[in-house]
Every structure is written in structure tokens, then in C-alpha cells.
Amino acid sequence: MIRLIIFSAILLFAISCNKQEDRVLLRVRNVSTEDFKNVRLYQQSMGDVDAGKETVYKEFEMAYRIAYVQLELKGVTVSLIPIDFVGETPLENGKYTFEIGVNPLAQSVYDQITLQLVED
């Protein structure tokens, strides 16, 4: 009986691990020294992300190495908006982190943030 319970627990754990790998899970990491408010990744709210912190993973139906990002930085709404996704390949199922930083050489609200994708 105990072997059956242990086997069932291992099987359930394996199934739950596989389910996470069957989808695209994204999170945001703030790699700057500034706090970000109202972060949006694609069309999904990721909440506030303090300097040096990261969000929890959220499921996305489809994502690319480049992304639409919008956030408030020092009270100003800034965005990173891809023109299109032509030539881009959708991300494979798995866990990814978009690292968002602040561009110290920014000339406008359109280049104030940087974005880098990391596969977890």
C-alpha cells in the first residue's frame, strides 16, 4: 500500500512538471536600480517590479524573443514596441525571463528601457 502511495506521488509530480514544460512561461526581472510600476508584457499585467526583483511566471499562448513592454519609470510611461514579428520564430515551450533595464543614454521615451531574453 505504501509503495502504491509513493508511486502515485512520484507520478503526479512528474505529470505536473511536464505540464509546465508544455507551455510558455514568462516572467520579468528588473535589472536596473529604478523601481518599475504597472509593468505590461505583451497584453498581460505583470504588476510592479522593484529594482533587482522579478515577477512570478505567467503563462502565455505565444511569445517571441522580442516583446511589447510598457511600464512607468519615475512617473513617466515608457514603452518598447516591436514594429512587427516578421521573421521571428515563436518561443518553444519552457520558462523564460525578460530582463528589463534602463538605458542611461536614452534620448526619448522610446529608448529608455532595454530588453534581453534569458532561457531559464
The whole-number pLDDT of residue 2 equals 59
Global pTM reads 0.80
Contacts of 35 (CB under 8 A, 6+ apart): 48, 49, 50, 51
CA–CA distances in Å: residue 30 to residues 23, 49, 71, 115? 23, 6, 11, 10
- Segment 1-27, tens digit of pLDDT: 555 444 444 544 544 554 456 899 999
DSSP single-letter state for residue 91: P
List Cα–Cα distances, 18 to 24, 111, 112, in angstroms. 12, 38, 38
User: How much is the pLDDT for 110?
Assistant: 76
Q: How confident is the model at residue 109 (pLDDT cuts 50, 70, 90)?
A: confident
Domains of the chain: 2-119 (2.60.40.2890)
